[in-house]
């Protein structure tokens, strides 16, 4: 018995892994040019030559070379410069100047990381949360592809003038190097002042087998980073196109009840804080037997965690908030707006407690850092409140990132260690009390402020930071302004008197050893 053949149904193709990335693929990508690859090689040479000693102006020099490679590629790709690109680029360059001014390690690392993120954001662009947040670490995913991109570009490259042109350039460079070396050596031998100038200007590079791995690593890092930026500029991934489906709206009861209860809890905390500010603090300390510093320290970290968690709650609630009708949207604005406003009370309470603690015990690196972070979180909540009050909030992602990067730039450019030292010295001048444990771990940025202390306090305090000074002056490109100032201060400092001075003021140097 023959029947009608059963039609064969083809199952739908299974989604490819990372399919969500394909929506952001660049429309086109400009090829790598010989000029861009040459600039990248120059960046690698400069990185291996300049960055092996310490950080200073050298980081800015390498950053400008990498920016030149990205600019050449963007120009070849026909990309236009937009206002936000200029904003991100200017902030990145400002952050790269921090190592030239200050010595604080944490500020230098933070500034360098933020500068890399801003440069990536400037090249990628982005308006939505996905576009901005995914663009910041975008360079990481371009380091290896940038190398292959340069290789493909060189393979299909036709050099104007052929090999003879390349040999002419190489010969010109070699002859120039030989002439400068010979005549520079003769001028240095003829005049001591000229020799000193040349010694400071020309980077020192000693061939040491032990340092070859470091120089090789720095060369590869400079080359890959520069090619990574150029690869982004040739055709950036459009992270804004990444599809993020909105959450399924919840019912009013299951969504609004938790938020209303949270609003009431935050409101109760605000009332309690108002009572404390109006005169209840002294009675609380008398009843609990706590000192000023203990009261100020109590609960600060909990309040900071509350601030961060509230930001997460607002983001999650906004995603699943009911939005079918106008009343739903108004209720969401009311409950979330009230929560954000009450969170500002939490921020103010945390800042007040930390400042109260600083007034009682002095400022430290950690206390200054958490103050800056808490202030920034308060700014973020203000921006969220403004965005909720306006009909258009498309500006919010970029402005939030801008506020964070401006905070990082101000934190780095002002010199956090100098601020810590200045506050402790000013506190000593007003109260004749100083806790030198707050000075332990400070960089050379603190030297000018500590130089204002009386003899014993000054000698003991300077002994805690003198170990950060190199035995020999570094080259100009690896020397910060703070190190130059610290050398002038520490030139008048006697290390032999440090132990006796610390003993006379009752400070044990084991905190600094």
CA angle 397, 95, 91 (to 5 degrees): 45
Predicted local confidence at residue 508, as pLDDT: 64
Residue 169 φ/ψ region, left for φ over 0, alpha for ψ in the -120 to 50 degree band, beta for the rest: alpha
Residues 6+ apart with CB under 8 A from 85: 122, 123, 125
Could you tell me the pLDDT band of residue 256, with boundaries at 50, 70 and 90? Answer: confident
Spell out the alpha helix ranges (H) of 206-251: 212-234
Percent share of the chain, pLDDT over 90: 29
Do 292 and 360 contact (CB within 8 A), yes or no?
A: yes
Range with lowest mean pLDDT among 94-98, 222-226, 322-326, 346-350:
322-326
The pLDDT assigned to 341 comes to 92
Helix (H, G, I), strand (E, B) or coil at 273: helix
Quickly state the pLDDT bin for 123 (edges 50, 70, 90).
Answer: very high
- Report the distance separating Cα 418 and Cα 406, nearest Å: 19
Picking from 316, 408, 385, the residue whose alpha carbon sits closest to that of residue 88 is: 408
d(CA 138, CA 125): 11
Output Rg (C-alpha) for the chain, integer angstroms.
30
Helix, strand counts (H, E) of the chain: 23, 0
Is residue 123 a contact partner of residue 26, using CB atoms and an 8 Å limit? no
pLDDT for residue 419: 94
Phi-psi region of 78 (alpha: psi -120 to 50; beta: other; left: phi over 0): left
Which residue, chain included where needed, has tokens 């920016």? Answer: 67
Q: Average pLDDT of 423-442?
A: 86
DSSP 298: T
- Least confident range from 99-113, 212-226, 235-249, 289-303: namely 289-303
The conformation of residue 427, written as its DSSP 8-state character, comes to: H
The mean pLDDT value of the chain amounts to 81
The whole-number pLDDT of residue 209 equals 57
Tokens of 462: 């300077």
* pLDDT, mean of residues 199-215: 64
- pLDDT by residue (tens digit) across 435-464? 888 888 889 999 999 999 888 888 888 888
> Per-residue pLDDT averaged across 208-220, rounded?
79
Distance CA 492, CA 233 (A): 51
Looking at residue 136, its pLDDT comes to 92
- Asked if the model's pLDDT at residue 503 lies above 50, the reply is yes
The one-character DSSP state at 260 is H
Q: In this predicted model, what pLDDT tens digit does every residue of 139-195 receive, in sequence order?
A: 998 899 999 998 888 776 665 555 555 556 566 666 776 776 777 667 766 766 666
Here the tokens at position 114 are 């933020």
Tell me the per-residue pLDDT of 338-395, one tens digit each, with 9 for 90 and over. 999 999 998 988 888 888 888 878 888 888 998 999 999 999 999 999 988 887 888 9
The predicted pLDDT at position 509 comes to 53
Q: Tell me which residue of 361, 478, 460 sits closest to 420, measured CA to CA.
A: 361
CA 206/CA 220 separation, integer angstroms: 19
Residue pointed to by tokens 């604005």: 333
Instruction: Report how far residue 147's alpha carbon sits from residue 32's, in angstroms, rounded to the nearest whole number.
Output: 10
Domain ranges for the chain: 28-241, 252-414, 417-511
90 versus 10: which is more confidently predicted?
90
d(CA 47, CA 41): 10
Residue 278: pLDDT band by 50, 70, 90 thresholds? low
Query: What pLDDT score does 104 carry?
Result: 85
Q: According to the model, what pLDDT value does residue 513 have?
A: 40
Query: Which of 38-47, 50-59, 374-383, 504-513 shows the lowest mean pLDDT across its residues?
Result: 504-513
* Tens digit of each residue's pLDDT (9 = 90 or more) over 58-93: 999 999 999 999 999 998 888 888 899 999 999 999
**Where does 51-82 have alpha helices with state H?**
57-76
Share of the chain above pLDDT 70, in %: 77
């Amino acid at each position: 018995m023959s029947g009608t053949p059963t039609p064969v149904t083809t199952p739908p193709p299974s989604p490819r892994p990372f399919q969500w990335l394909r929506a952001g693929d660049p429309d086109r990508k400009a090829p790598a040019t010989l000029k861009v690859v040459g600039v990248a090689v120059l960046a690698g040479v400069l990185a291996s030559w300049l960055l092996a000693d310490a950080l200073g102006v050298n980081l800015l020099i390498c950053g400008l070379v990498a920016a030149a490679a990205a600019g050449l590629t963007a120009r070849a790709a026909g990309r236009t410069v937009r206002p936000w690109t200029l904003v991100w680029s200017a902030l990145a360059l400002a952050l790269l100047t921090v190592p030239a001014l200050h010595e604080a390690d944490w500020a230098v690392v933070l500034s360098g990381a933020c500068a890399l993120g801003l440069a990536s954001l400037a090249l990628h662009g982005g308006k939505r949360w996905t576009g901005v947040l995914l663009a910041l670490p975008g360079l990481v995913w371009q380091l290896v592809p940038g190398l292959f991109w340069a290789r493909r570009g060189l393979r299909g490259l036709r050099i104007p003038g052929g090999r003879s042109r390349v040999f002419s350039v190489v010969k010109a460079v070699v002859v120039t190097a030989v002439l400068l070396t010979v005549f520079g050596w003769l001028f240095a031998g003829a005049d001591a002042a000229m020799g000193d100038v040349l010694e400071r200007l020309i980077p020192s590079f000693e061939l040491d087998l032990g340092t070859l791995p470091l120089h090789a690593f720095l060369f590869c890092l400079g080359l890959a980073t520069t090619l990574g930026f150029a690869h982004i500029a040739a055709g950036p991934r459009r992270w804004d196109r990444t599809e993020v489906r909105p959450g399924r709206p919840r019912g009013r009861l299951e969504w609004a009840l938790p938020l209303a209860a949270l609003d009431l809890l935050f409101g109760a905390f605000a009332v309690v804080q108002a009572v404390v500010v109006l005169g209840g603090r002294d009675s609380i300390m008398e009843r609990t037997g706590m000192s000023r510093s203990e009261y100020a320290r109590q609960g600060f970290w909990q309040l900071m965690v509350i601030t961060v968690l509230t930001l997460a709650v607002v983001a999650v609630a906004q995603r699943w908030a009911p939005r079918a009708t106008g009343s739903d949207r108004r209720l969401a604005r009311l409950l979330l707006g009230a929560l954000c406003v009450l969170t500002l009370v939490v921020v103010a309470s945390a800042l007040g407690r930390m400042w109260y603690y600083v007034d009682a015990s002095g400022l430290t690196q950690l206390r200054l850092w958490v103050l800056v972070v808490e202030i920034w979180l308060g700014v973020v909540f203000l921006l969220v409140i403004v965005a909720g009050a306006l009909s258009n909030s498309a500006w919010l992602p970029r402005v939030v990132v801008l506020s964070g990067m401006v905070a990082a730039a101000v934190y780095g450019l002002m010199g956090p260690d100098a601020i810590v030292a200045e506050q402790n010295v000013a506190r000593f001048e007003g109260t004749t009390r100083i806790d030198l444990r707050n000075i332990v771990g400070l960089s050379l940025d603190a030297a000018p402020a500590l130089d204002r202390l009386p003899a014993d306090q000054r000698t003991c305090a300077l002994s805690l930071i003198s170990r950060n000074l190199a035995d020999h002056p570094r080259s100009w490109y690896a020397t910060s302004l703070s190190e130059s100032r610290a050398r002038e201060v520490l030139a008048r400092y006697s290390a032999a008197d440090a132990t006796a001075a610390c003993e006379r003021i009752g400070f044990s140097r084991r905190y600094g050893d």
